[in-house]
Structure formats: structure tokens, C-alpha cells
């Protein structure tokens, strides 16, 4: 599987990709997301819609800017995703009475059902990961990632 027939040693002094924070974050996410994607493949929602549902459940009815920020989606993407979710009956939108530019999004029964249907399995995945990775370490990693967001930075 490994390959070193025409191997040449790195010549530009860049960090090993394991030690590149953007790449490490990406790889870690792929690892963690694997089982989640598997779980969602048996449902009617994809990763993004799942995030939107969770944000809505967590924060209650809220406007699109807020959802976009919390679910890590850009507004144009969110607009399309919400249109689809509205058509599927997962959420509803209503204009804000006080500010008619704003539309308030609310999760509907169908959306809540999807969350509930997978909540147990999702929780199981977390428990499993914490067990293998270590409870304390898991929390520490989350803390460190939260701290990182206060900073900026790169590679």
C-alpha cells in the first residue's frame, strides 16, 4: 500500500501534513464524521440539514443569520437548504412581525421526528467515541477547539 519507489524527501521545509493544523482538523473531522454519515444515509436528511435541525432544536425559532452562523453555513446555501426543508415539511418560515426583512425559522413536527428517530443512535456514537478516546480527553479537545476560535491563525 505504501509507496517509496520514486520517493524524494520534502525540500521546502513545510510542516509534515500530520502536523498541519488545517489538514489535521480536516482528517480528524473525516474520521469522526464517517459513522455519522453512515447513520444519516439511512435517513432523508444529509449532513447540512441535520446540522440545521439540531441548531433549531437547540436554539428554538430563530432567524437565518443566526442559523447560518451556528450551523456553519453561508446564507446562500442556507436559503436553498431551507427551501428544500420547507418543501419537505421539516421546518416552517414566517416573517418577523417587528422587522419584515427577517424571517423566523421554526422546526416542525416532521423535523423533530427525524431528530428523535436518530437521537439514540447519535448518542450511542458519542458514547462509543468517548469510551475509546477517553472522556476527559474528549472534553479537553472540545475546550481547546473552542479556545482556537477566539484566536485566528493558520498554516
Query: Residue 40 and residue 54: Cα distance in Å, rounded?
Result: 13
Q: Taking CB under 7 A as the rule, does residue 154 contact DNA?
A: no
Q: Which is nearer to a copy of itself, 75 or 142 (CB)?
A: 142
User: 135 contacts which partner out of a copy of itself, DNA, none, CB within 5 to 8 A by kind?
Assistant: none
Q: Please, where are the H alpha helices in 20-134?
A: 21-41, 47-59, 64-71, 75-87, 109-133
Site map for a copy of itself, 48-87, x if CB under 8 A? ---x--xx-xxxxxxx--x---xxx---------------
CA nearest 105: which of 72, 83, 120?
A: 83
x-marked contacts with a copy of itself along 135-154 as a string, rule CB under 8 A: --xx-xxx-xxxxxx-xxxx
How many residues touch DNA under the rule CB under 7 A: the total is 27
Answer with the entry of DNA, a copy of itself, none that 76 interacts with (C-beta below 5 to 8 A by kind).
DNA
| Alpha carbon 2 to its chain's center | 32
CA-to-CA separations, 140 to 99, 135, 147, in angstroms, rounded: 41, 9, 11
Residue 122, interface with DNA (CB under 7 A)? Answer: no
Amino acid at each position: 500500500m505504501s509507496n517509496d519507489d520514486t520517493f524524494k524527501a520534502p525540500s521546502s521545509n513545510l510542516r509534515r501534513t500530520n502536523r498541519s493544523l488545517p489538514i489535521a482538523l480536516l482528517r480528524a473531522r473525516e474520521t469522526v464524521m464517517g459513522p455519522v454519515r453512515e447513520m444519516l444515509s439511512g435517513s432523508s436528511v444529509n449532513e447540512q440539514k441535520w446540522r440545521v435541525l439540531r441548531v433549531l432544536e437547540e436554539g428554538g425559532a430563530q432567524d437565518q443569520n443566526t442559523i447560518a452562523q451556528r450551523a456553519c453555513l453561508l446564507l446562500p446555501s442556507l436559503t436553498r437548504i431551507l427551501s428544500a426543508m420547507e418543501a419537505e415539511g421539516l421546518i416552517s418560515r414566517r416573517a418577523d412581525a417587528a422587522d419584515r426583512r427577517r424571517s423566523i425559522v421554526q422546526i416542525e413536527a416532521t423535523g423533530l421526528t427525524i431528530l428523535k428517530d436518530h437521537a439514540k443512535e447519535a448518542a450511542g456514537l458519542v458514547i462509543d467515541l468517548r469510551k475509546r478516546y477517553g472522556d476527559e480527553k474528549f472534553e479537553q479537545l472540545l475546550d481547546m477547539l473552542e479556545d482556537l476560535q477566539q484566536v485566528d491563525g493558520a498554516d
